[in-house]
């Protein structure tokens, strides 16, 4: 098993990581200035630091998220590009709070909520999270099957959905955590397909930059609902649980088997975590940016606004952007699904297992964590079944948005309260401005959830 390196500032190979850390920690002072070194060594060091934050950010751009971003570009052109800029720091700060909780306490998010808050609230959140994730898994499995059919129309939808469910289950259940983490890390690179597809669209960069900097909101129902959907897709509860639990999995991989051994964090570990988290969120939001930009540049001018799925977006792009953009979009749908579905199922399992004090963790073999893997299997089976009972995938995503709208603000309250508590976090407690930003995000997510509920009731 590969041994995890310690993240301390020792040599020139770490210079790029430190430079990035300086950029993302708002001017925090570093203890020493290091000279440049071999570029390959720097890149390898940076790649080694990336882990839970990268895969968490990448999993946020799942097929259902791609459909939402495609719809934003198709309906409003570049008008909602500014959301990819605004959500970046908000999303990053939330995920950093979750990661800090994991590193300092040595426990997952649900485990910490169980210790410090009433259990019935945790049980309710975990069950709602399971429901929302199951709906999302179903929609993503269907989207992946449609993505393959874009490239190979002769293959059957049902067989593809079942095959993808089996592949995702097999990877999670039968791979050791070290191999599984490397798989997720490399799979995150498939998101670059969307960057390439946008660059092939020959964007008008003056318009793109202006739209990204200057917010534009129309006080109309469709756009307000779409903004709420984008916020719900970007700042989702499953990311909170997954981020914290993956920090624990990484520490266990490094040999810290007990909570006592994992408790506390060094400055070097926090620096590495911030580089990882903010890098992952940069990737996530860049992909959102380029998907909106590509659809805004190609579909919007041609009046193609009725986009309801990622596969439909790819098909609509083909006549105007060519086979290359079409192919990249299709490959992206498949790859992001393979990344996101295990994260969705895994986050549900972490939350429920920690809530009920069951043995949990992807580092454990199946024989040691039957309940943990059982939840993953049930999540996948529920999602799989949705594709065979005639449930409209768009309605499934609306139900998922409602569940996320209810769960996200509640879980974020727990996250902000715990990460601000010096008795829990010690010297790593939130700075005051971070706490205030956290409460602002909670207010925004509450409004988003309320809008989703109103939309569902009105439809």
The domain spanning residue 358 has which CATH number?
1.20.1740.10
On whether both 423 and 325 belong to a single domain, the answer is yes
Identify the segments of the chain with pLDDT beneath 70.
Answer: 1-37, 219-221, 320-321, 392-399, 401-402, 452, 455-459
On whether both 3 and 112 belong to a single domain, the answer is no
On whether both 66 and 31 belong to a single domain, the answer is no
The pLDDT assigned to 17 comes to 41
On whether both 149 and 296 belong to a single domain, the answer is yes
On whether both 45 and 58 belong to a single domain, the answer is no
The pLDDT assigned to 393 comes to 63
Q: Are 294 and 194 in contact (CB under 8 A)?
A: yes
For the stretch 3-8, contacts whose Cβ atoms lie closer than 8 Å and that sit 24 or more positions apart, written own/partner, are 3/254, 3/255, 4/250, 4/253, 4/254, 4/255, 5/48, 6/268, 7/49, 7/268, 7/269, 7/271, 7/272, 8/266, 8/268
Q: Are 113 and 122 in contact (CB under 8 A)?
A: yes
Number of structural domains found in the chain: 2
The pLDDT assigned to 459 comes to 60
Please, is 231 exposed, middle or buried when counting C-beta atoms within 10 Å of its C-beta (0-12, 13-18, 19+)?
buried
The pLDDT assigned to 208 comes to 87
The pLDDT assigned to 395 comes to 65
- Among 11, 34, 49, the domain-final residue is 49
Give CA–CA dist 308/292, Å, rounded: 14
pTM metric for this prediction: 0.84
On whether both 1 and 119 belong to a single domain, the answer is no
On whether both 134 and 59 belong to a single domain, the answer is yes
Q: Are 334 and 148 in contact (CB under 8 A)?
A: yes
Q: What is the CA radius of gyration of the chain?
A: 21
Phi, psi at 302, each rounded to 5°: -95, 10
Give CA–CA dist 123/109, Å, rounded: 13
On whether both 4 and 123 belong to a single domain, the answer is no
Range of the domain at 22: 1-49
Name the region of 249 (left: φ>0; alpha: ψ -120 to 50; beta: rest): alpha
On whether both 34 and 64 belong to a single domain, the answer is no
On whether both 4 and 101 belong to a single domain, the answer is no
- Among 19, 34, 49, the domain-final residue is 49
On whether both 329 and 380 belong to a single domain, the answer is yes
Phi, psi at 107, each rounded to 5°: -125, 160
As given in the structure block, the two tokens for residue 164 are: 């993808």
On whether both 44 and 167 belong to a single domain, the answer is no
The pLDDT assigned to 6 comes to 40
Give CA–CA dist 419/416, Å, rounded: 5
């Amino acid at each position: 098993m590969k041994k995890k390196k310690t993240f301390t500032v020792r040599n020139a190979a770490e210079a790029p990581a430190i430079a990035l850390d300086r950029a993302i920690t708002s001017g925090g002072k570093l203890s020493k200035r290091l000279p440049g070194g071999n570029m390959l060594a720097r890149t390898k060091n940076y790649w080694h630091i990336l882990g839970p934050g990268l895969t968490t950010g990448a999993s946020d751009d799942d097929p259902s998220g791609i459909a939402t971003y495609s719809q934003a570009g198709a309906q409003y052109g570049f008008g909602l590009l500014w959301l990819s800029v605004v959500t970046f720091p908000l999303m990053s700060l939330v995920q950093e709070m979750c990661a800090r909780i994991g590193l300092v306490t040595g426990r997952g998010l649900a485990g910490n909520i169980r210790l410090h808050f009433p259990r019935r609230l945790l049980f309710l959140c975990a069950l709602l999270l399971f429901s929302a994730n199951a709906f999302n898994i179903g929609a993503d499995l269907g989207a992946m099957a449609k993505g393959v059919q874009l490239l190979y129309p002769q293959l059957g939808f049902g067989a593809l959905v079942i095959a993808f469910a089996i592949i995702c289950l097999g990877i999670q259940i039968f791979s050791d955590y070290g191999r599984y983490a490397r798989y997720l890390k490399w799979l995150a690179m498939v998101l670059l397909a969307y960057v390439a597809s946008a660059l092939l669209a020959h964007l008008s960069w003056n318009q793109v930059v202006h739209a990204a900097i200057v917010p534009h909101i129309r006080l109309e129902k469709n756009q307000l609902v779409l903004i709420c959907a984008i916020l719900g897709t970007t700042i989702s509860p499953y990311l909170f649980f997954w981020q914290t639990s993956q920090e624990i999995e990484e520490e266990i991989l490094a040999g810290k088997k007990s909570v006592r051994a994992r408790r506390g964090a060094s400055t070097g570990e926090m620096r590495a975590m911030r580089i990882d988290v903010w890098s992952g969120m940069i990737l996530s939001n860049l992909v959102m940016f380029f998907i909106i930009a590509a659809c805004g540049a190609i579909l919007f001018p041609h009046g193609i606004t009725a986009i309801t799925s990622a596969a439909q977006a790819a098909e609509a792009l083909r006549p105007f952007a060519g086979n290359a953009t079409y192919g990249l979009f299709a490959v992206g749908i498949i790859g992001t699904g393979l990344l996101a579905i295990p994260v969705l199922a895994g986050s549900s399992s972490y939350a429920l297992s920690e809530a009920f004090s069951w043995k949990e963790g992807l580092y454990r073999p199946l024989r040691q964590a039957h309940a943990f893997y059982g939840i993953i299997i049930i999540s996948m089976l529920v999602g799989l079944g949705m594709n065979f009972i005639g449930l409209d995938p768009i309605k499934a995503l609306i139900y998922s948005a409602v569940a996320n709208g209810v769960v996200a603000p509640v879980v974020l309250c727990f996250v902000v309260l715990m990460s601000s508590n010096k008795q829990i976090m010690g010297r790593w407690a939130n700075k005051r401005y971070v706490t205030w930003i956290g409460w602002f995000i909670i207010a925004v997510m509450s409004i988003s959830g309320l809008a989703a509920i109103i939309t569902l009731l009105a439809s």
